[in-house]
Each structure stands twice: as C-alpha cells, then as structure tokens.
Amino acid sequence: MSTTRRNPISKFFLGPMKGSENPKQLDNHVAVVTGGNRGIGKEVAIDLASRGCNVFILCRDLDRGRETAKEINLSVNKFIEKSKIFLEFNLNLQTRRNGVVPLKCDLSSMASVRKCCESLLKRKITINFLVCNAGK
C-alpha cells in the first residue's frame, strides 16, 4: 500500500473554502479573541462559537461589541439548531454553550488591559485559546 504525500501548499490552490474545515467540537472550552467585533477577529469568533466554544471578544467600543455578540449568538444558535449534531444528539443549548460575551479592552492602555484581565480572573475560568488579533 503506497501513500502519496501531498504538497502542503496544494490545498491553497484548491480555491476558497466556506467556513471551517475542522469538525472538532469545542464544548466546555473558552477562547479570548482580541479585536473580535469585526474583520478576521469576528470570523474567528463565529467559527469558535459555532463549534460550541465560549468566546470572549475584547474590543475598545463596548456598544459595538455588544451588537456583534448579539449578532453572532443569534446566527450561531440558528446554525446549531439546524445542524445534524443538534438533531442527532438533541443537545440543550443552555448547557452546551454560553455564547459570545463582549469585554471592553483598549490594548493601547495598560489600565484597560489590567481591568479586563481582572474581569476575566473574577470569572475563575480556564482560557483554552487566546487569539491576538487586535491592531492595525
């Protein structure tokens, strides 16, 4: 039995893909995404949340963060309800995930960073993933 090795870059030439190809569920995991209220950070938050991860999005503008969190939570809940996983295992959304939560954090201010860290520490959670995305 021969195995052929594919060039790792060959996947790039297959063209754009829709969504994440990784099927791994991330239930009971916690992620922190800086700059998660728009752009790449928002897409990362959507992907993590759709796989069951509890996501904290850190953003300078808390109002915009709340809008984004609400939007992601609504879209992810619709996705989970329609997914085969939800239908096969009849998962309860309340016990499965807490969703996306916005936190105010301006990375250009150490006082803001400290306050945000204290807020996360008070929750007594283990952070499994940290996505450092904020910045220009």
Average of pLDDT values for 25-45? 90
What is the structure's pLDDT at 27?
A: 83
**Alpha-carbon span 82 to 79, nearest angstrom:** 5
**Which residues, 6+ apart, have CB-to-CB distance to 28 below 8 Å?**
52
**Which residues, 6+ apart, have CB-to-CB distance to 47 below 8 Å?**
19, 20
Report whether pLDDT(17) > 70.
no
What is the structure's pLDDT at 125?
A: 87
Average of pLDDT values for 95-121? 87
Average of pLDDT values for 108-136? 91
Under CATH, what is the fold of the domain 26-131? Rossmann fold (3.40.50)
Q: Which residue has the higher pLDDT, 27 or 67?
A: 67
What is the structure's pLDDT at 92?
A: 39
Average of pLDDT values for 115-120? 94
Question: What beta strand segments (E) does 1-136 contain?
Answer: 30-34, 54-59, 100-104, 129-131
CB 53 within 8 Å of CB 65? no
Average pLDDT, the chain: 78
CB 83 within 8 Å of CB 57? no
- Of the chain, the end-to-end C-alpha distance in Å amounts to 50
Structural domain boundaries of the chain?
26-131
Per this entry, what is the length of the chain?
136
51-76 per-position pLDDT tens digit: 888 999 999 999 999 999 999 988 88
**Alpha-carbon span 42 to 33, nearest angstrom:** 8
How far out from the chain centre does Cα 11 lie? 24
